[in-house]
A and B are shown apart, each in its own frame.
Chain A
């Protein structure tokens, strides 16, 4: 089966010739449809750069990113916006909900900019809200709900457009451990029931252990990857910790 995302030897350099920083150094990666992949790495390892490149927020220096058979490094201007709008879903660390809108409107916004009819918007918002357990808070404003709830609203917004790929950038970063666990369970639901392909960026081994596969990045290169296979989450978590320990100096960061 054709992978949904194919990253082919991408490089990303920052700075000038005299002081060159290789944020991404010859990274290649493939993500299959309906996969739940976590990318782990310490801060400065290049994982956010990788995410930015995939999400077309940033441009690669060389290499190709092929998504659904389309080379997205060649897109320009409004094609980029259209690509993001129709093919991607985003979940950010700081929720990025619009504080002037209610939760319902925040979720609906992703559809209104695609010019979907209201009737359909209403059905889809209610359907996804039910699945993510946020039906009761739809009328509230972001400042009236907890961080975990906010992140669930953001998740609903990310998946409501049925994107090919959901990108989650440190989604548990601003949550307490209980909310974080609840959110990760939501991710499992998204992946298993809604068949959403998820790419999770994190430096937290616990979050990563919910994925099917974990890719480790260090100094802009793919360092290692492990599959969950038939392991339980606990066993998978221990394996991840082993690799993190191997990663060396960044242990404290990684934990």
Chain B
């Protein structure tokens, strides 16, 4: 009997449940899709370095999945509480008829169970379908080739989805039971009769709060953009603008309705036109009663926009950078002059390696039976020197004291890299950089790591001299020269000192590096093969190839994109769903109001317009603030991620807008049509 009742309940209130169902199905399917990526990558032919990134990605995705399931869990609990509240009267009738609370709990339990099963089945179905499309994206992002189309079903992802959502539904059931236990009959029966008390906020206080919030927000914006170097000098301080942002967001939502209402009601010609005053009042009362959720939604949307656009732009710019940053095929680095003292610090150096470090790079290669001329062309071998006399502290000169207070976390005793001018010009020639020249007593600093350059230039501006072997050198330029000496995926050269050839001697030699292009295609495989050579454990020789960097960069880009997409979509769904549920749950109250308008003789067209405006503004309001937040958020994240460059920003913003439009806009339309439907019933 109870089961029959609950099945009928679900059928009856399907319209109310539509958004809930839709959200559940979307949640389940997205959860499945992202967890199924692992099994999709297994099918692809990828190299070892990509394999590593893929492993990293699947690990991260499953970590993120836990977080995502928490968010979905909260969303589902929130949504189900909403739906129960709507049915207060129904429960009241059950209680008056003498149904025990246990039985009512069972009724709800069974309903949740049914909804859970149905949404899981449909959601998994949709997920399996969607993941076939996802596999195309996966192949694309990893730039792998898939010879034929496979239908992929991931058993583990399926199982994981069932377990995670099973747990969520279980928690929902427990929550429902607790809620039922707290019910009092009188409240249930009178729930509908209570007329809403409108909290009329003092408009002066509203204005005050609004102005304070705006100024706080303005300061937070200033902190992350123009004033970023002054105000955010240590990593911990990043919490200040975040906190300010949250507080001011809450403040704005708290104050804006009272404040705007005051202004709008003064514009009497507009206010008293058609249903305007009704719509404005509806919205203001809704915003007034949902300050907290509005703030949460706004912040979630902000995170969504930032995460989506940054992750997509990172991926784009990463691949862009590679062309200029890896002008040669291979780089081999080998430590020289290793001593026992250094062995203590770095455990990875064995005695064999110390012995090997007395050999030159060519000699070591000979041990590997690699002939330079046969395998490589455009060869440049350069040496890096280091000395205790040239450390970050020394090169900053007088600025050191200030810098130490400002950048606490920096290690100021690190020895700086030094190379000779003739070595550098050889590299510059190979890398298509401008050649440089030096006088006897001059040095030049080259760097391309944007975040580090300002600090370096403080030292150069003060004409800080450096001393090597008792000889003093002054800076030729008072700024850093753009350049780099090794291949990498990003602009990460934080500074290399170029000195005259006779300034350094072999006693300061630290490492030797070879840059070259391959003679033939198969050299890459030969180099990888060296991993199995017996001499490999006896040397500190390390190889970095263009291909490796390219692949890991592509993989990293894909990883960031996937995680960004995953989190972004889930956040977007959650916020849109909360808004939609709020709006729909109030549609019964609204129904009476709109019915009233009909009796007064309002035209249907006017009613629909009022409804549309009401829902549209309710949806747009948090989005608008979130977009304003995001403009500054994206500027800041670009500053943080400046190593990646920001060439791909526009396409990624367009992509983000498309996502927003589809998901958020979709929820908006569903809400509008559902409410219209509810209002239609007479």
A interface list, Cβ under 8 A from B: 55, 57, 77-78, 81-86, 88, 90, 96, 98-101, 105, 108-113, 115, 117-118, 121-122, 141-143, 157
Contact = CB atoms under 8 A, between A and B. Distances in A.
A86 B269 CA distance: 21
B274 interface: yes
Interface of B: 195-198, 200, 268-269, 271-278, 281-282, 285, 593, 596-606
A82 B606 CA distance: 12
Contacts of B599: 55, 57, 84, 90, 96
Given A78-B603, A84-B600, A105-B281, A100 B273 contact: no
A83 B272 contact: no
Given A99-B196, A100-B593, A113-B600, 14 more contacts: A81-B598, A81-B602, A81-B604, A96-B599, A99-B195, A99-B198, A100-B281, A109-B600, A112-B273, A112-B274, A121-B272, A122-B268, A141-B198, A141-B200
A81 B596 CA distance: 12
A248 to B, nearest CB: 34
A151 to B, nearest CB: 15
A78 B602 CA distance: 9
Contacts of A143: 195-198
B273 A115 contact: yes
A78 B604 CA distance: 7
6 contacts: A78-B605, A81-B604, A85-B602, A99-B195, A100-B282, A142-B195
Contacts of B606: 113
A101 B606 CA distance: 18
A55 B268 CA distance: 31
A238 B289 CA distance: 52
A98 B596 contact: yes
A98 B593 contact: yes
Nearest to B276: A112
Closest 3 CB pairs of A and B: A85-B601, A84-B601, A100-B281
A64 B274 CA distance: 32
A115 B275 CA distance: 9
B268 A112 contact: no
B599 to A, nearest CB: 6
B130 to A, nearest CB: 42
A113 B281 contact: no
Most buried by A among B272, B281, B596: B272
A81 B605 CA distance: 11
A96 to B, nearest CB: 5
A134 to B, nearest CB: 18
Contacts of A88: 601
A108 B277 contact: yes
Contacts of A113: 274-275, 597, 600-603, 606
Contacts of A157: 600
B455 to A, nearest CB: 58
Contacts of B273: 112, 115, 118
A88 B277 CA distance: 22
B608 to A, nearest CB: 12
Given A81-B603, A99-B196, A99-B198, A105 B277 contact: yes
Nearest to A105: B277
A212 to B, nearest CB: 26
A170 to B, nearest CB: 15
Contacts of B601: 81-86, 88, 113
Given A78-B604, A81-B604, A109 B278 contact: yes
Nearest to A55: B599
Contact of B603 (A57, A82, A142): A82
A224 B273 CA distance: 46
B607 to A, nearest CB: 9
A110 B273 CA distance: 11
B272 A101 contact: no
A111 B606 CA distance: 14
A77 B638 CA distance: 57
A85 B605 CA distance: 14
A81 B606 CA distance: 11
